[in-house]
Structure 1
């Protein structure tokens, strides 16, 4: 297993700064690929919504930041990849339709899809007087368990949107909806990753054990890192807004939940997300060492940024030849839907 020396722990003595990144990423691709959990498999077991750098492939090793040539994210030095399971709507006749994602209200208009990515330090506005250490090339992690049938760890949530600005309450499973009008703005999934690293392993067999979760709810203060995982890294979080509004006229009238994740989960407890670090050079460390906040980090202060057009035009080849659009008789890769 690849390791990185714990000697970097000495960096914690450096003077901390207060910085936070919040930025949009347009859709890179929607495919059955998973280079973390199922490296090399074409296709993987279920469909993913993927954003970020164009080095994304069925197998990914080494320094991704040095291989990317474009990115769907705001910052041009960020060739990381961020992905989640896809949400589907199941009609009364048993067919499935993919639910599109839409941009967050905090993002500029025109982003294709629009997953929101955060790198915070301790909470939404501070670092708790700690040195925040950037991830290293080759780092990756997963949050969530596709087989979960009950509440998982803090930080994996659903939000019923009255509008795009809604953030509470946070729910452990799909919102209870008798009609689409119960969540007129759609549904948001929230994935907060652990922020304590063991300082040695860039990955682990379960893609989680090299990290320790001190995350609380809704960008609240994270607790101290334990001795086993002493290195505080940026708190990565995704917000993904799913546009359920087109299904209002065919919402089940019997109270049945019509929403299902692409891994076959009809409850929502199996929500999960993957992260593969790909920032170029020391760009993320420079950002974490700065005083910038959100859009104030753009335009070279200290990160290079790009307009929406280049974000939307960055793509990768389609490696899995299957239809994922329109009404489908089954979930891609999961005959009959295979509900949990």
Structure 2
């Protein structure tokens, strides 16, 4: 009787603790409640999330980002550069990025800047160039211990980092910055770094060779320029070059052969951005999952059936409904994946 009474008391206490957890309070799906640790491996398919999904939240620190990820129930992520680099002590920018983007968007749209705007843009660009040099110098010298600390902090919370995406791999970045990005990714526990495909064969060759040198794979992301053979040259250049496929953008580009592409290139896909977009005929919109033309469920089932080992990365890009927030919406995306893989 004593043992039975102790068992009942402990069980009640455990149930009460679970019911009061932040995950339960936010209405998170049952699959993520596992000893108060996130678990987004669903029936053999790893569902991940790129931390870009939380860009609209005010606190972008590494600690806050981990909190967002845990609240969503995600156990594996593609980590953007800012949370990790700010944690490691990267210098803060002192120019108005938002204003630079506004003026740049006006120019790209074919509008002519006023004389005052031209002067303003020139000043911001000068500040940006100076800041880029400062960051490059910092990246060339920074110790890797802060990145190892982040890895431990995330791993201890039940979250692994499979990809790292700092702004260190562009054609304007120095070799020292590229090397830094790969070393930092390794310290974080990532298997690959990600970047937008530069559309420059010489640069993908360079990145692939540096990946070989530093033991880090380089996965190229694409938007609507993706085609069936978009990655072929880079893949031929180095065994360290790989794919960061974006299924939603592929559909928005008007391609009907997404499943065939995945079947052909699955061994080269290291992670896959997952979102729902419409075909060109329907407007190319970024929409709530299940309301667009991207066969998310079919792709997840394909991964499950063929036991592909790359994660499907939730990327929240549709407009957040009024009254909601990125955490709630990523939870809904995770629930969509759960139902698709049931």
Looking at secondary structure, tell me which structure has more strand per residue: 1
Report if TM-score (shorter chain) is over 0.5: no
TM range (shorter): under 0.3
TM-score normalized by the length of structure 2:
0.25
Higher relative contact order (CA 8 A, sep 6+): 1
Q: Which has the larger radius of gyration?
A: 2
TM-score normalized by the length of structure 1:
0.25
